[in-house]
Amino acid sequence: MRIFIKIEYDGTNYCGWQIQPNGISVQQKIENAVLLLTGENVSVVGSGRTDSGVHALGQVAHFDTESNIPPSRFSSALNQFLPDDIKVMESYQVDSDMHARFSAKHKTYQYRIYISKHPRPLMDRYSARVEFPLDISAMQKASQKFVGKHDFACFLASGSEVKDTVREIYFSKVEKIGEEILFTVCGNGFLYNMVRIMAGTLVKVGAGKLSPDDIDQILISGDRKKAGITMQAQGLTLVSVDYE
Amino acid sequence: MRIFIKIEYDGTNYCGWQIQPNGISVQQKIENAVLLLTGENVSVVGSGRTDSGVHALGQVAHFDTESNIPPSRFSSALNQFLPDDIKVMESYQVDSDMHARFSAKHKTYQYRIYISKHPRPLMDRYSARVEFPLDISAMQKASQKFVGKHDFACFLASGSEVKDTVREIYFSKVEKIGEEILFTVCGNGFLYNMVRIMAGTLVKVGAGKLSPDDIDQILISGDRKKAGITMQAQGLTLVSVDYE
């Protein structure tokens, strides 16, 4: 049977989701937990990669098993073999044609920013620091420019060899919650580093170095150099992956 | 001159504020930073101890220095010699009769709780998990019972040899913010483990095993066994220390 699992992880100590020759990945830790639990050497297929240091509230992955553990029990059972910074929140059986990556309809990411002269130990793990004030209202206007179907070539990490850079953004917002500025974005897919470059571009708008209307031109230009910097990994969290 | 510093720290990797024979303390890290910065072997005197694993948003400490570094510059200067999980947020000169511990008028602590069947990697560092539902309204009523001048002997870690267990609580509240239940309490002083036992008692109320009115009796009884458990250290944060 095919099992879907929803995983929360603190990415600080991992080289990212995907198994790498050097470094410990979240995927490897989960495949190892399945092996210890069921004795099966399975591939755990994620909805997509997350980079080194990126967190997840709701990464989704699947694997096939011949074990007779009830599907809903996999979460607690796997958690016994997982480290404190990776835990399965939910597990359930799906049809064998469901695929964590190819059946995903949309994904939601959140990027967290805080403003401080000094690095803040209680914020730094999950939020990126900016040292200067930000105009949140301008960032909110700019965030709306991402909504819709666009060629996001300008928000793609340079060096990437992806051909099709058109993606559709369903939802994009900036809000101030407590001491943090949260950028939340939902789309049918994201290019490599896309959310972190979007966040860097919003910071550039917030700092007054771009106007919200400049985003239209940046999108049309397809020029990576016109967008903002790639913000640090630790501010990014994969919030959820949605299926039909 | 005497310098006051306001310190934020993630207590996860420390044996607490105070220098211990075994384990690395926050105090030791700061004394070491002063030594590296000024060449002086100083005592850094905190407003009080925090236990192993307890965090601080606003611990306050003082030290005396003959350095000619401008007082407000100590924060950035010390931060160069401090690890990522300890940073000084503010530094300023005070009169030489001001004392981080003896001049403190009140302290505010916060205890964070989340409810989940599974441990949550993105919550566990700063919040304590409870597996069962909690009646927040009952917890709010119970939290009001702490306000005022009481003998808090029942909220003192057993084995402690403190004589005077009377403390005054100025402010005590329970609120739900996002996915967390936050208990915030301000008083003129706190006994060893007092906030963590108060939090455990509020959880017992939230679980329906005590009524808010039972708190009055527990306070009068002075009996540690009638109060709730000592909640885990990682949920506790010293928010601020106030001076005249």
* Burial status of residue B75 (CB atoms within 10 A of its CB: 0-12, 13-18, 19 or more): buried
User: Packing angle between helix B214-221 and helix B194-206, nearest 10 degrees?
Assistant: 150
- For A168, the token pair is 């559709």
Contact check, Cβ <8 Å, A120/B10: no
pLDDT tens profile A170-191? 999 999 999 999 999 999 999 9
pLDDT at B159 over 80: no
Residue B162 binned pLDDT confidence (cut-offs 50, 70, 90): confident
Q: What is the pLDDT of residue B26?
A: 98
Lowest mean pLDDT among A72-86, A129-143, B145-159, B200-214: B145-159
Out of B84, B121, B122, the one facing A119 most closely (by C-beta) is B84
Q: Name A95's Cβ contacts closer than 8 Å, sequence gap at least 6.
A: A2
Judged by CB atoms within 8 Å, which residues 167-226 of A form the interface with B?
Answer: none
Q: What is the pLDDT of residue B55?
A: 98
The verdict on whether A51 is a catalytic residue reads yes
The residue of chain B with its CA nearest to that of A84 is B121
What totals of helices (H) and strands (E) does chain A contain, helices first?
5, 10
First vs last C-alpha separation in chain B: 19
Residue numbers in B near A57 (CB within 8 A): 122
Contact check, Cβ <8 Å, A119/B79: yes
Query: Top-level CATH class of B2-94?
Result: alpha beta
Residue B157 binned pLDDT confidence (cut-offs 50, 70, 90): confident
**Model ipTM value:** 0.94
- pTM comes to 0.94
pLDDT tens profile B2-59? 999 999 999 999 999 999 998 999 999 999 999 999 999 999 999 999 999 999 999 9
Q: What is the pLDDT of residue A197?
A: 97
First vs last C-alpha separation in chain A: 19
Domain boundaries, chain B: 2-94, 106-243
pLDDT at A65 over 90: yes
The residue of chain B with its CA nearest to that of A83 is B121
Q: What is the pLDDT of residue A138?
A: 98
> How far does the CA of residue B83 sit from the closest CA of chain A (Å)?
9
Q: Give the Cα separation of A58 and B5 in Å (integer).
A: 39
The residue of chain B with its CA nearest to that of A54 is B122
Query: Mean pLDDT for chain A?
Result: 96
Q: What percent of chain A has pLDDT over 70?
A: 100
Out of B10, B75, B122, the one facing A121 most closely (by C-beta) is B10
Q: What is the pLDDT of residue A158?
A: 79
The residue of chain A with its CA nearest to that of B13 is A121
pLDDT tens profile B51-102? 999 999 999 999 999 999 999 999 999 999 999 999 999 999 999 999 999 9
Contact check, Cβ <8 Å, A76/B118: yes
Q: What is the pLDDT of residue A163?
A: 86
Mean pLDDT of B160-180: 93
**Cβ of residue A30 closer than 8 Å to a chain B Cβ:** no
Alpha carbon of residue A9 to chain centroid:
11
Out of B55, B84, B122, the one facing A8 most closely (by C-beta) is B122
Residue B158 binned pLDDT confidence (cut-offs 50, 70, 90): confident
Q: What percent of chain A has pLDDT over 90?
A: 95
Q: What percent of chain B has pLDDT over 70?
A: 100
Contact check, Cβ <8 Å, A86/B121: yes
Query: Mean pLDDT for chain B?
Result: 96
Annotation: CATH topology of B106-243 = Alpha-Beta Plaits (3.30.70)
pLDDT tens profile A80-130? 999 999 999 999 999 999 999 999 999 999 999 999 999 999 999 999 999
Q: What is the pLDDT of residue A244?
A: 84
Q: Give the Cα separation of A134 and A206 in Å (integer).
A: 4
pLDDT at A162 over 90: no
The reply to whether domains A2-94 and A106-243 share a CATH topology is: yes
Tell me which of A6, A7, A8 to substitute to probe the interface with B (most B C-beta atoms closer than 10 Å).
A8
